Structure 1
């Protein structure tokens, strides 16, 4: 995967490092192949307000 590396200040190739301390089989972080900087790539989580909308009306 090609991402922007802050240390290199340009687009670089990133790969998943070997992960022994993470409980899942895959690690959530990626490492720059040029300098080794690690980057966490997390999915965007959207929180929605599920409360019903209240409509306020003026008295006629």
Structure 2
């Protein structure tokens, strides 16, 4: 996968690093093949406003 590496300052190849021996050890999602800088790729989270909408209405004008 080709991504821009902030450390190298250019587009580089990123790959998944080998899995460590310990299964609970943290490992980065992707690492730059040039300098080894790790990047964690997280899913997009959408926050929804669940409050009820307030409708603003103009006061009705009654004919006099």
Question: Normalising to structure 2: TM-score of the pair?
Answer: 0.71
Retained in 2: the 8 A contact 1:28–1:42?
A: no
Partner of 2:11 in structure 1? 11
Aligned-pair distance for 1:28? 5.3
Which structure has the larger Rg?
A: 2
Show CA shifts across 1:8-56 (max 9, x none). 100000001123314xxxx552100011111111122110112221112
Structure 2 unaligned segments of length 5 or more: list them: none
Partner of 1:32 in structure 2? 32
Question: Which stretches of structure 1, 4 residues or more, deviate above 6 A after TM superposition?
Answer: none
Question: Normalising to structure 1: TM-score of the pair?
Answer: 0.75
Q: How many residues align?
A: 56
Structure 1 unaligned segments of length 5 or more: list them: none
